[in-house]
Structure 1
Amino acid sequence: MAALSLCGYLLASARTFRPGFPLDDAWIYQTYARNLARYGEWAFVPGQPSGGSTGPLWVLFVLPGQWLGALQWTFFLGWLTLAGLGVAGAWAFARLSPQRRAWAVWAGAFLALEWHLVWAAASGMEAALYTLLVMAVLGALAGDVKRRAWFVLGLLAGVSVWLRPDGLTLLGPLGFAALLREGGGRERSSRLGLSALGLALLFAPYLAFNRHVAGAWWPNTFYAKQAEYAVLRQAPLWRRFLQQAALPLVGVGMALLPAWVLTLRRALSERRWGALAGALWTVGYLGLYAWRLPVTYQHGRYVIPAMAVYFVWGLAGMAETLQLRAQNTARRLVSRAWALLTAGLLLAFWGLGARAYAQDVAVIESEMVDTARWVAENIPEDALVAAHDIGALGYFSGRMLVDLAGLVTPDVIPILRDEAALKIYLDRKGVKYLVTFPGWYPHLTQGRPKVYQGRAPFSPALGGEHMTVFLWSAP
């Protein structure tokens, strides 16, 4: 099921334009992997160690693609992670709803077809693998956990941090379940201690790694993204939270909302603290992004892990509620209508998601990748290039770059949205060319000569612009 679902998305992108990634950030991982393979160094720009990759572990996962084919290998990983997520989701479902264990296979198939998750698996990013680890930890907590398993769960949480710093949030449900489950004070302390120890054994090296390559405890992306979108935090927190909470409901998620509430209610009434921990983590995760990074673009990609957990917890509540063969006609009809509505929305949005994925890939390929290839062929090798989207440029152009988003050039983080300060900075650095969408930096690009501009119809059709190469200063 996962293979067919993923291949459908890849086929849609090939028919629309050509296969590729729907995010420029995916090429950042590929660039780190290529430089690690070629030069044995952790750098986006050769000779300049940096912390511009959110998930160092994902760089290692995509590394074999530098010999086997970057796209082919990464899509193979996407299939494995989507299939693994389906298995983990089915397992979590069975632990949440043991009376409906036979339905677990349908929960796994649901995840393999849910459009956000397929998009993530085909994105070239770490999101699907990170979501798989989250599901494994929270699914384990939903049932009985043996003493030694608490240490393993802590280790899994520690591994997830190497994919996203957000993995640290798993300490919350681990601690919640460890302290509230039945047992004496010593047993509860032991659970908590084992979980914390497992996480710390991998979290401490993660901090040390970042400190070594970037001079900070967290990756540059941790600081840069928050600085770039700081203006969004001016909106009231409740509004930002509602915007984040609406993201899992785009598609089949709306049909599962009543069932998710039922799962939460049942966990409370039956004092099933592990199941409750997963539901609370979902709410807390959405709240964390509402607080620090309240963005909703790219189909809510930052909160896709919370979506997957929400879906499984909702499916468990739905399975406990459905009475497909009830004697009561009204209950039987309502149950069947609910099930059919859920299946219909799942399949309909799989198709809509395939179209959205294909459009996203077409934009990245026609604007970012094609521009990067033009730069490689037409700009002098010693020219310094400034750009906001550096992924494809780093991989295909082979030019020295100044990153206006701050991922590999952290010096610009304090002045990310200050175009006057950026102009002074670029002049001081000796930048020769600026590569960006004109509307992102209207003052920086005003009056600058255009030496190249994309021509494909995909970006304008979605309300966007063409990527443009501006001459910043004469060579």
Structure 2
Amino acid sequence: MRFRWLPWAAALLGLLSFFLVRGSLTDDGYITLAYAKNLAVHGEWALVPGTTANSATSPLDVLLLGFLTLLTRIGGAAHPVLALGALTVLSAGALGWAWQRLVRAFTLPAWVGLLGVLIVVVNPFLLSATGLEVLLVPAILLWLTAFAVEGRPVLFGVFAALTVLTRLDLIVVVLIITFSTGAIRRHFWRAFGTGVLVAAPWFLFSWFALGSFIPDTLVIKQDQEGLFGAWGYFSGPVMYFLYQPVTVLFTFAGAVAGVAVLMAWAGVRFARRWDDFPALAPVVGLGLGGVAYYIVYSTLGVGPYHWYYVTPTATIASFAVLMVGIWLAESGRRPGLRRAAPLTALGLAWVTALGMVSIDLAQGVPWPSPVIFGNWASSTDYARVGRELGQRLHGASVAGPGEIGTLAYYCDCQVLDVFSDRSQVASIVRKRIAEDGAVSRLGLRINYHWFDRNQPPRQVDYKLLYDKGPATGPDSWTVYSAAKGIGHFTLVPAR
């Protein structure tokens, strides 16, 4: 009874966070919104109308947003941004509900659960990527952990499937929690079979109908080598630290503390044995999963996009709060454990969370632009260009300037780049198969077995070009970005 307020408090935090950021969504967030819009309005899995694509990294996120967008059509037009607000509230509430179960399972103080929610929801990297699946990921992972703690293999299997449908790369975390938890290992085939039944329909549809089992974003991002210069995923936090040190310190503080807690647990685990101590394997699996995720991503050759850091920072910070909370609860029952140390650690976690709140509010209320931002134009300017571009093109196609999400969402026209035009994906796949090693070639051939890798390039009628400075001629739009300053887009014939 005393924990029932936690999901509602979390949902309220989600609502407040959405009101804060709703007018400053990042361009990649609009890619997801464009997919949801086309799914709800046209019944298509597409970034631009009439052109099937498979560049949505999170199928579950698009499906949920598409369903909620469909519900908004009851009043007439589709409203994907409103659907995003609803999904943000629901995801935050689900996160709070998962913490409620964990608080009950380990008899923790309720405020520990609130801290666990807060340290995720106010993460500046997460809020700067609203529109993507960044809040859905920690919510589902905490539910996965809760069912592992409760020893419920069937529900664990359901949420393992939902986890990989949210992001396939989260299989790393799923596997570690699975094999860390005795109750799941003992009923492995029950959990595995349930997961396959839930996830297989989508992946088979994706493989046969969309042409690839894994979304195209993996090969697209790997093909962007050099986009960030010498910086890669592993060194990315240093890159962000160089221009936003305070934000990076507060965002990664929980994860660094979590790694320290993980090492401390390993030392204690092998130095001393408590037979009646709570089973911590699923919780440790969550922390190890976050660390392993960071390591695996560091080997994939992808750039340091800020939303890629949400999973490890949120996962490891949640693990740290949960472990120290358990330490605090056990110190009240064991004379040999003192409360001062865990209380101090949790106090520092509150300071970290409130520090992130300060960073978020210092950006402005509501945000004029995300804290972490690199787009060429604000979402408002992109929306203006997209609407006017749609009126100007009269059904013609245009090669995108390199950022497509907001333009495609507002234009409702044929904006073509590698995310919307699969003939460009075919070119990347052919190149990779010709140049990669044997294992990579085999994986690509299997993944793209049903995909037409020899399709010809699509005809492009216009090009939309970006340059610095204000617009000076016809078919040109001046835009502003907090990251890039004043610039302009110009529409020119392709030939």
Task: Return the TM-score normalized by structure 1.
Answer: 0.75
The runs of 5 or more residues in structure 1 that have no matched partner are 14-18, 326-330, 417-426, 440-447
Aligned-partner residue type, residue 196 of structure 1: F
Q: 1:62 to 1:92 in 2, by over 3 A?
A: same
Equivalence for 1:421:
none
Matched residue, 1:455:
479
Secondary structure (helix, strand or coil) at the match of 1:389 reads: coil
CA distance in 1, matches of 2:16, 2:383: 23
In the other structure, the counterpart of 2:154 is 151
2:401 touches 2:466 (CA, 8 Å); kept in 1? no
Query: Where does residue 291 of structure 2 map in the other structure?
Result: 283
Match of 1:197 among 184, 188, 193: 193
1:73 equivalent among 83, 93, 118 = 83
Instruction: Tell me how far apart the structure 1 counterparts of residues 150 and 188 of structure 2 sit (CA, whole Å).
Output: 15
Question: Where is the helix percentage greater, Structure 1 or Structure 2?
Answer: 1
Q: In 1, are the aligned partners of 2:286 and 2:315 still within 8 Å (CA)?
A: yes
Range moving further from structure 2, 337-346 or 260-269: 260-269
Equivalent residue, structure 2, for 1:431: 460
Kindly tell me: are residues 243 and 391 of structure 1, through their superposed partners in 2, closer, same or farther at Cα, counting changes over 3 Å?
Answer: closer
Residue 135 in structure 1 maps to residue 142 in structure 2: yes
Q: In structure 2, how many angstroms separate the alpha carbons of the residues matched to 1:10 and 1:239?
A: 30
Contact map agreement 1:435 1:469 (CA 8 A) in 2: yes
- 2:315 maps to 309
In 1, Cα distance between the equivalents of 2:406 and 2:352? 35
Superposed CA deviations along residues 246-303 of structure 1, whole A, max 9, x for unmatched, are 97962551555544543454556558433332222111111111111543333xx123
1:127 counterpart SS class: coil
CA deviation map 1:348-368 (0-9, x unaligned): 211313455824359541343
Against the structure 1 CA distance between its residues 303 and 266, is the aligned structure 2 distance closer, same or farther, given a 3 Å change threshold? farther
The equivalent of 1:250 in structure 2 is: 251
- The equivalent position to 2:492 in structure 1, one of 463, 471, 475, is 471
Matched, 1:385 2:399: yes
Could you tell me which residue of structure 2 aligns to residue 395 of structure 1? 409
| In 2: Cα distance, 1:94 partner to 1:248 partner | 31
Distance (whole Å) between structure 2 residues aligned to residue 380 and residue 214 of structure 1: 28
Q: Determine helix, strand or coil for the equivalent of 1:388.
A: coil
Partner AA of 1:81 in structure 2: S
Q: Pick from 400, 404, 411: which aligns with 2:426?
A: 411
2:53 is matched with which residue: 50, 53, 68? 50
Cα distance, 1:403 vs. partner?
1.0
Aligned to 1:423: none
Q: Distance in 1 between matches of 2:389 and 2:352?
A: 43
Please say which of residues 214-223 and 359-368 is displaced more in the overlay: 359-368
1:24 aligned residue: 27
Over 3 Å counting, the alpha-carbon distance change for 1:371 and 1:266 in structure 2 is: farther
- Is the partner of 1:469 in helix, strand or coil? strand
Q: Is the 8 A contact 1:157 1:171 kept in 2?
A: yes
TM-superposed CA distance for 1:238, in Å, is 7.0
Q: Percent same amino acid at aligned positions?
A: 18
CA contact (8 A) 1:29 1:53 kept: yes
Q: Match for residue 324 of structure 2? A: 318
Deviation at 1:104, TM superposition (A): 3.9
Q: Find the aligned partners of 1:67 and 1:203 in 2 and give their Cα distance.
A: 24
CA RMSD across the alignment: 4.1
Looking at structure 2, the residues matched to 31 and 70 of structure 1 have their Cα atoms a distance apart, in angstroms, of 8
Report the counterpart of residue 85 of structure 1 in structure 2: 95
Counterparts of 1:274 and 1:12, CA distance in 2: 34
| Contact kept in structure 1, 2:33 and 2:81, CA below 8 Å | no
Instruction: Map Cα deviations across residues 69-128 of structure 1 (whole Å, 9 max, x no partner).
Output: 322221121011112112213433554xx3xx2324432344235422894598122222
Partner AA of 1:54 in structure 2: T
The AA in structure 2 aligned to 1:83 is G
Mapped pair 1:297 → 2:305: yes
| CA shift in 2, pair 1:260/1:374, >3 Å | farther
Shift of 1:49: 2.1
Check 1:306–1:255 CA distance in 2 against 1; reply closer, same or farther (3 A cut): closer
Q: Secondary structure at the match of 1:135?
A: helix
Alignment partner of 1:79: what SS? helix
Distance in 2, matches of 1:196 and 1:144, equals 17
1:344 equivalent in alignment to 2:344: no
The yes-or-no answer on 1:41 pairing with 2:41 is no
Q: 2:156 and 2:403 mapped to 1: Cα distance?
A: 36
Task: Call closer, same or farther: CA 1:454–1:257 in 2, change over 3 Å.
Answer: farther
Corresponding residue for residue 107 of structure 1: 113
Output the amino acid matched with 2:352. L
User: Does residue 262 in structure 1 map to residue 264 in structure 2?
Assistant: yes
- Runs of 5+ unmatched residues, structure 2: 1-8, 73-78, 274-278, 333-337, 432-455
Q: Tell me if 1:213 matches 2:185.
A: no
Alpha-carbon distance, 1:375 to partner: 0.9
Offset at 1:454?
Answer: 3.0
Q: Secondary structure at the match of 1:162?
A: helix
Residue 250 of structure 1: SS of its match in structure 2?
helix
For the structure 1 residues 332 and 241, does the alpha-carbon distance in structure 2 shift closer, same or farther, using more than 3 Å as the test?
Answer: same
Contact 2:98–2:143 under 8 Å retained in 1: yes
8 Å Cα contact 2:475/2:490 also seen in 1:
yes
Contact 1:383/1:399 (8 A) holds in 2: yes
Deviation at 1:25, TM superposition (A): 2.4
Work out the CA distance in 1 between the residues paired with 2:167 and 2:461. Answer: 34
Instruction: Describe the shift of the 1:21–1:177 C-alpha distance in structure 2 as closer, same or farther (beyond 3 A).
Output: same
Give, in whole Å, the separation in 1 of the partners of 2:392 and 2:476: 10
Structure 1 Cα separation of the partners of residues 249 and 430 of structure 2: 33
Paired AA for residue 250 in structure 1: T
Aligned to 2:165: 162
Which residue in 2 is equivalent to 1:444?
none
| C-alpha separation in 2, matches of 1:387 and 1:104 | 49
After alignment, is 55-64 or 281-290 more displaced? 55-64
- Aligned residue pairs total 427
Q: Which residue is equivalent to 2:438?
A: none
User: Secondary structure in 1 aligned to 2:108?
Assistant: helix
After superposition, the Cα gap between the structure-2 partners of 1:248 and 1:87, relative to the gap in structure 1 and judged at 3 Å, is farther
Q: Is the 8 A contact 1:50 1:214 kept in 2?
A: yes
Change (3 A) 1:471 1:436: closer
Q: Distance in 2 between matches of 1:273 and 1:383?
A: 54
CA 265–202 in structure 1, closer or farther in 2 if over 3 Å, else same: farther
Q: Distance in 2 between matches of 1:462 and 1:241?
A: 18
2:123–2:356: 8 Å Cα contact kept in structure 1?
Answer: no
